[in-house]
Amino acid sequence: MIGSTLIGVIGTLLILLVVYDAIRTTLSVSSSGPLTNRLVSGLWFMLLGIHQRRKSHTMLSSTGPWITMTLLLTWFLVAWLGWFLLFCSSPQAVVLSSSNATASLVERAYYTGYTLTTLGYGDFVAGNDNWRLPPVLAAANGFFLFTISITYILNIITNVIQKRQTSLTISALGENPQQILASTNGDGKFATLISQLQPLQQSISTLGQQHLAYPILHYYHSESSSKALSLAIARLYQAIAIACFASTRLDPTSREQLLITRKAIEQFLDTLGSAFIHPSQHIPDIPAFNCYADLPGVETSNTEIQDYLASLPYQKILVAFVHKDGWQWQDVWQTENGRGA
């Protein structure tokens, strides 16, 4: 194995892959790297499958940090493997400092490890001048991965906190669309709802860009439905759609605010493709409720409201978002028998 040029080429490709993936994942504002995408989505798909059979929101709520740490560990291990293979491509790449004897495979792995971590014990050195620069690059690579990983973790923590704050703000309006409409109706003018929408518009738009830049945010699951962004967004979307469609007392300014918020939600939903969340093939079930008739200013029939909600194209991506987050469509409405397709 030692002295193979092919091994060196493979090692170089692995190094370039991990550097590209780390830069694309942490510094790009539009998507993650290819290695990151496949690793985190594969892990989540496996854990989500377990959850769907055994229903454990506690398990899912702990997976976000573990997926993040697995990703960072993968970067380091791939970089270690890449530099190890490169240092194995020549007998003179690594020698014992005291005798200039050629290092074994285990010794080269050890040399690669302490070079990447910038420990620099010095018991192994480059065998000739041609191999003095690669260890410097390896140390820089290790320092870069360590620094960028810390920055990435801090950004993720900040964004997760904001994500849950937005979810709680929406949940405070009501735990389902019916409650949101009832608590903010205000004699059919929805003044309370309108007053909450401007800060929510900015929060939702910001979350959309954060999820686009950090798709791994989708895998930070909350075991509490009140902190689940997918449920909060779906509930608010239904409530706004019903208010716009069914209320006869909305003034033009209030209606405009509702439509702006609805557009912000739809723009957020458009970013979900970065986390491999794609529209469902079927329209989700819309429960029929009699409670709408009790709301002031709502003169549209329950059947018309149900048909209107079912006709909205973004319902398909909403139900996919809810399911990919480990919840069921009936959790949006808090019904026992409502099922999303």
23-32, 290-299, 311-320: the lowest-pLDDT one:
290-299
138 and 192 share one domain: no
Is-contact 132 126, C-beta < 8 A? yes
Q: How far apart are CA 20 and CA 144, in angstroms?
A: 12
Cα 263 to Cα 135, 231, 260: the distances in Å are 52, 17, 5
Is-contact 329 339, C-beta < 8 A? yes
90 and 124 share one domain: yes
Mean pLDDT (the chain, rounded): 91
339 occurs within a structural domain: no
207 vs 292, more confident: 207
The number of domains in the chain is 2
338: left (phi over 0), alpha (psi -120 to 50) or beta: beta
- Each residue's pLDDT tens digit, 219-261: 999 999 999 999 999 999 999 999 999 888 888 999 999 999 9
Nearest C-alpha neighbor of 289 from the set 275, 274, 300? 300
193 and 322 share one domain: yes
Cα 53 to Cα 57, 160, 323: the distances in Å are 12, 26, 13
10-14, 218-222, 296-300, 317-321: the lowest-pLDDT one:
296-300
Kindly tell me if the per-residue pLDDT of 121 is higher than 80: no
142 and 286 share one domain: no
70 occurs within a structural domain: yes
Q: How far apart are CA 53 and CA 92, in angstroms?
A: 55
Nearest C-alpha neighbor of 37 from the set 321, 276, 326? 276
52 and 185 share one domain: no
- Each residue's pLDDT tens digit, 68-92: 999 999 999 999 999 999 999 999 9
Mean pLDDT for 14-35 is: 92
161 occurs within a structural domain: no
Kindly tell me if the per-residue pLDDT of 14 is higher than 60: yes
48 and 139 share one domain: yes
126 and 274 share one domain: no
DSSP 104-153: -HHHHHHHHHHHHTT----SEE-SSGGGSHHHHHHHHHHHHHHHHHHHHH
Q: pTM of the full predicted structure?
A: 0.88
233 and 323 share one domain: yes
- pLDDT > 70 in the chain, percent: 97
Q: What is the pLDDT of residue 84?
A: 97
Domain residues for the domain of 45 are 5-148
Mean pLDDT for 142-163 is: 95
56-70, 188-202, 225-239: the lowest-pLDDT one:
188-202
Torsion of CA 75, 78, 81, 85, to 10 degrees: -120
